[in-house]
Amino acid sequence: MKFYQIPVIFFDKLFWFHSIFGILLTKNKPKNLPKIELTNSIDKQYQVVINPFKAKVLDVKNRNVKISFLSKIYGKLMVFACKYSFFGARVLAKIPFVKYPTTEIAIKAFQKLYPTNLEQRTLCLPRMLFVIATSKTFKNKGVGFIGVFLPSRKMHAWIIENNSNPDPYDDTWICYQPVVAITKKP
């Protein structure tokens, strides 16, 4: 996984994401602002995040997704790793045990493991890393984002793929300012 920093300035403070420890850092606004360097494909998805009205709306398809025993174990390991170590979760996301044909199906599988709305709102990071690791289409078409809701510093993780959010139930991402973009491309 490759991390692209997108520093945010809010009330003369610079906020950025520490990609090893998974924390939001802050310091006084520097005189020279850091330059944001995004690839063309990431910039297209970033524009959807900045302008959510440009996002395509996906139909909610009730596909019956089968979850293998290995997929259940992998999902539960991802939640455990995210709870205790962001670095451990990053390492685990590099070892996909299962593969789903699309990002939407990978998200549905994770939602089937943790079906309640509260779990889905609090497990956004493990869901994003699970999908990055298990989706066949993410590598070519998707970008994961971690954003911050300032001034509260509350964070949220989501995916944009093909100019849309493949999770039709995730509607909170439009309130967050991205601080890092994550791709699977080297």
- Strand 177-183 and strand 154-161: the pairing is unpaired
Across the range 14-29, mean pLDDT stands at 89
DSSP the chain: -EEEE--EEETTEEEEEETTTTEEEEEEPPSSPPPP---HHHHHHHHHHHSGGGSBPPP---------HHHHHHHHHHHHHHHH-HHHHHHHHTS-S--BSSHHHHHHHHHHHS-SHHHHHH-HHHHHHHHHHHBSSHHHHEEEEEEEETTTTEEEEEEEETTB-S-TT---GGG-EEEEEEES--
Chain segment 82-110, per-residue pLDDT in tens:
999 999 999 999 887 788 898 989 999 99
Predicted local confidence at residue 95, as pLDDT: 85
pLDDT value, residue 117: 66
Burial of 56 (0-12, 13-18, 19+ CB in 10 A): exposed
> How many whole angstroms separate alpha carbon 129 and alpha carbon 89?
8
- Domain with 163 in it: 2-183
Nearest CA among 19, 9, 6 for reference residue 151: 9
Residue pair 121/134 in contact (Cβ under 8 Å)? The answer is: no
Q: Specify the pLDDT at position 186.
A: 63
Contact, 183 vs 141, CB < 8 A?
no
**Between residues 102 and 186, which one has the greater pLDDT?**
102
Q: What is the CA radius of gyration of the chain?
A: 16
Is the pLDDT at 155 greater than 90? The verdict is: yes
Number of domains composing the chain = 1
